[in-house]
Structure 1
Amino acid sequence: MQKKKSSIGWRNENQRPSLSEVFSSVSVPKQKGIWKKLFAFTGPGLLIAVGYMDPGNWATDIAGGSKFGYMLLSVIFISNFFAIILQHLALKLGIVCERDLAQACRDHYPSFISFILWVLCEIAIAACDLAEIIGSVLALKLLFGIPITWGVLITAVDVLIILFFQYKGFRYIESVVAALIFTILVCFSFEIISSKPEIFPILKGIIPNPEIIKNSHSFYISIGILGATVMPHNLYLHSSIIQTRDYPRTIEGKKMAIKYATIDSTLSLSLAFFINAAILIISASTFHKAGYTEVADIMDAHELLTPILGSSLSGVFFALALLASGQNSTLTGTLAGQVVMEGFLNIKLKPWIRRLITRLIAIVPAIIASIVYGEKGTTKLLIISQIILSIQLSFAIIPLVNFTGNSEKMGIFVNGMILQISAWLITIIIVLLNLFLLYNTLLGKR
């Protein structure tokens, strides 16, 4: 059931609901049952967590673990903390203002600025889609020996799978994502048990080490981990899909929604932290321990796992987790693309058309790279995609922090002083680090 939008502080008084076909479609129990309400709000956080464990994270986590052991676990922990804060702001914006971040930008900024933000966001989504394609393609090669070029073409048909679940209902999409996350979790649990990591060095690695900043290479990888962890399109997506819940659009109803949505988001991102940390821990306890300190490639990591751990299942589980990761990211990338286009341009395309456009943009460079450079070319594209995402991140965070700190737009839900200061500090850190990453990348420094 669609209801009139809150328009205080916004230019557009009659904003169309975000993802209108599933707006307020998931019922929330009216009775006072904590667990039932929490279950009703469980789902959006899992879709968001997918972006924090996509194939783009794998290369940086593998490189960090093989080169520096457990030392960069603290970077993953800090990045995850940043993500929890920013995703809280995103869901709060969607619940309170009943607008997703793209709609909010269009309603607040001049048309030309909104257009620039839309273009940047579309480029970032295409880059993210590229990472998903590469992850799935590499997994298909590892599992079934399918050539890279053919694998790229096969990934183009997954749009049909996405459409099937999208028309079945939003809960079906959330269930598929949950199943794929569970698959990833099982795979990495097996890998961790097989690699027999050391507990005390892991605990020590969670504590920030000054050596991270002193060593230029560890600092560079740390920035890469940060850029691959906090995903810009997730902020747009979360502010939209939280509105799929049928909570009362009242002050009390919104307070309740923010409470349970934040629990869902925090728990889901904690799961993402475990999986990201698991990748680095496995890399540290196998490659670093065995003296392979320069492993930064997914294919190389797969080849080394089996002989080091002595189990053929290690490589299979690794590839299976990679495939699940790529397919999961495809689902959420589709929704993010729909949210961004509808929100910024106020036009609605059929999901299969929107997906096809984004997929073609990503497939073309992937095919060219696979033909000309082979596996190494796709790995380089994976790195480039993460750099693009890092650049776009600032253009998503700054409007988000600005909107949620505006009392005219948020009313009584405006960020408190501590939260607002923390949010701006996180923003400044991310902006500066990403500028540093961009500068060094352009100069060819590492």
Structure 2
Amino acid sequence: MKKKKYSIGWRNENKHPSLSEVFSSVSVPKQKGIWKKLFAFTGPGLLVAVGYMDPGNWATDIAGGAQFGYMLLSVIFISNFFAIILQHLALKLGIVCERDLAQACRDHYHPFINFILWILCEISIAACDLAEIIGSVLALKLLFGIPITWGVLITAIDVLIILFFQYKGFRYIESVVAALIFTILVCFSFEIVSSKPEIFPILQGIVPNPEIMKNSHSFYISIGILGATVMPHNLYLHSSIIQTRDYPRTFEGKKMAIKYATIDSTLSLSLAFFINAAILIISAATFHKAGHTEVSSIMDAHKLLSPILGSSLAGVFFALALLASGQNSTLTGTLAGQIVMEGFLNIKFKPWIRRLITRLIAIVPAMIASIVYGEKGTTELLIISQIILSAQLSFAIIPLVNFTGDSEKMGPFVNGITLKISAWFITIIIVLLNLFLLYDTFFK
């Protein structure tokens, strides 16, 4: 009997590569040097990790630390574990099938279903872009006193910066992201040292506490953290950018690529865990300890941080980290928008046109909110953007888990029984939590 080709499960075989202008553009050494190969695959994981430390995540971490001390560290830890599994599936899909998640949906689902998925995905990317605008705008206000309305307009300039680095090459984009992540890391390292947290309570907080479920408010914040565990655009992004590596498109080559890409992804997401945990730890060690349990917004946290820690640099580093976070997320959001539109619709726009469309969709509501409601309006808009992202998440996870568990599509690389069960378990948990969050938001 003739052995089935493992791409037989796809409807279309003649396709354009994902991000064709940078496809297979980063060389991977042919020799067996582990460190050189690992370095060659380092980068996509960092771009993905950005989504776990964007301004939209800050508010829940700050509120969780201020109200419940270190108790919700376990929720961040579990969230990170979920993220590691799902991003592994995304990179595996891209490497094995040489399709990003958007292309895979187009080659599997009915055109009408595809159109709906594309619309939902575009809305989520615009919502994500909105969160990045707000984060950058708040940071500009905190650092330089720039009014929010002007800050919204200034953020549009980053289109030119992004286009410049896209033109220079994909490794340049990865280097910029790495530098901004390093900036965030340095800032929060300073904040942690300044806040002098207690080590034993931190270790206790990593262990799940039954009190989280018993207290309705801590449970609600936990849902907010877990519900936005994986940014939906990150799954599309990772399945695409991993294909920028020039590994042999053979069984052994793909097996090697999955191995090193997973190491890169896991280490990068561990770094994201440290930064998210740092935000909660700083909030717990300063606001919760001082009795300021009402702190829940980024602006409130900045106002109180310097007086409590007794250092003006604390507020500066906090705002600088926020600016780096917003700009970092902008870079990855741009790429995700390009991947989604090209993948679902099989059409190509020039990068500057695609970026301008996404930015305008996000800038309009940000500008209206800043003019009508001021600072409070932008904070409310940040919360709304996270609800939109949570609502769309299930529509990205379910296809991903389904595709990577299909032996006709993945062949010898299909998810094993343990990974398959784990992936569906994580999917069900995230879907249920997001449904609960949406119900609580709109019907209570």
**Shared topology, TM-score over 0.5?**
yes
In structure 2, the residue corresponding to 1:51 is in which secondary structure? helix
Match of 1:156 in 2: 156
Aligned-residue offset at 1:226 = 1.6
Aligned-residue offset at 1:8 = 2.3
Structure 2 gaps of 5+ residues are none
- Root-mean-square deviation (CA, aligned residues, Å) is 2.6
Using a 3 Å threshold, how does the CA distance of structure 1 residues 4 and 283 change in structure 2: closer, same or farther? farther
Using a 3 Å threshold, how does the CA distance of structure 1 residues 25 and 2 change in structure 2: closer, same or farther? farther
Using a 3 Å threshold, how does the CA distance of structure 1 residues 350 and 74 change in structure 2: closer, same or farther? same
Aligned-residue offset at 1:353 = 0.4
In structure 1, the residue corresponding to 2:293 is in which secondary structure? coil
Match of 2:280 in 1: 280
Once residues 388 and 5 of structure 1 are traced to their aligned partners in structure 2, the CA distance between those partners, rounded to angstroms, is 39
* Count of residue correspondences: 442
Query: Which deviations, in whole Å up to 9, do the C-alpha atoms of 1:184-227 show, x marking residues without a partner?
Result: 00000000000000000000000001111111111111111123
Once residues 363 and 44 of structure 2 are traced to their aligned partners in structure 1, the CA distance between those partners, rounded to angstroms, is 27
Match of 1:244 in 2: 244
Once residues 272 and 376 of structure 1 are traced to their aligned partners in structure 2, the CA distance between those partners, rounded to angstroms, is 28
With normalisation by structure 1, the TM-score equals: 0.98
Once residues 256 and 386 of structure 1 are traced to their aligned partners in structure 2, the CA distance between those partners, rounded to angstroms, is 36
- Contact kept, 8 Å, 2:306 with 2:315, in 1: the verdict is yes
Structure 1 gaps of 5+ residues are none
Aligned-residue offset at 1:6 = 7.6
Match of 2:17 in 1: 17
Aligned-residue offset at 1:229 = 3.1
Match of 2:426 in 1: 426
- Contact kept, 8 Å, 2:7 with 2:408, in 1: the verdict is no
Aligned-residue offset at 1:2 = 27
Once residues 183 and 433 of structure 1 are traced to their aligned partners in structure 2, the CA distance between those partners, rounded to angstroms, is 33
Query: Which deviations, in whole Å up to 9, do the C-alpha atoms of 1:80-121 show, x marking residues without a partner?
Result: 000000000000000000000000000000000000000000
Once residues 229 and 221 of structure 1 are traced to their aligned partners in structure 2, the CA distance between those partners, rounded to angstroms, is 13
Once residues 388 and 279 of structure 2 are traced to their aligned partners in structure 1, the CA distance between those partners, rounded to angstroms, is 23
Match of 1:36 in 2: 36
- Contact kept, 8 Å, 1:227 with 1:389, in 2: the verdict is no
Once residues 8 and 284 of structure 1 are traced to their aligned partners in structure 2, the CA distance between those partners, rounded to angstroms, is 53
The correspondence of residues 44-55 of structure 1 with structure 2, limited to 5 A, is: 44-55=44-55
Aligned-residue offset at 1:9 = 1.2
Percent identity over the alignment? 91
- Contact kept, 8 Å, 1:370 with 1:377, in 2: the verdict is yes
Once residues 5 and 39 of structure 2 are traced to their aligned partners in structure 1, the CA distance between those partners, rounded to angstroms, is 26
- Contact kept, 8 Å, 2:7 with 2:410, in 1: the verdict is no
With normalisation by structure 2, the TM-score equals: 0.98
Aligned-residue offset at 1:13 = 1.0
Aligned-residue offset at 1:7 = 3.9
Aligned-residue offset at 1:230 = 1.2
In structure 1, the residue corresponding to 2:5 is in which secondary structure? coil
Using a 3 Å threshold, how does the CA distance of structure 1 residues 2 and 55 change in structure 2: closer, same or farther? farther
Using a 3 Å threshold, how does the CA distance of structure 1 residues 268 and 3 change in structure 2: closer, same or farther? farther
In structure 1, the residue corresponding to 2:228 is in which secondary structure? helix
Aligned-residue offset at 1:242 = 0.1
Once residues 316 and 302 of structure 1 are traced to their aligned partners in structure 2, the CA distance between those partners, rounded to angstroms, is 9
Question: Which segment is superposed worse, 211-220 or 275-284?
Answer: 211-220
Once residues 4 and 338 of structure 1 are traced to their aligned partners in structure 2, the CA distance between those partners, rounded to angstroms, is 33
Aligned-residue offset at 1:3 = 22
In structure 1, the residue corresponding to 2:7 is in which secondary structure? coil
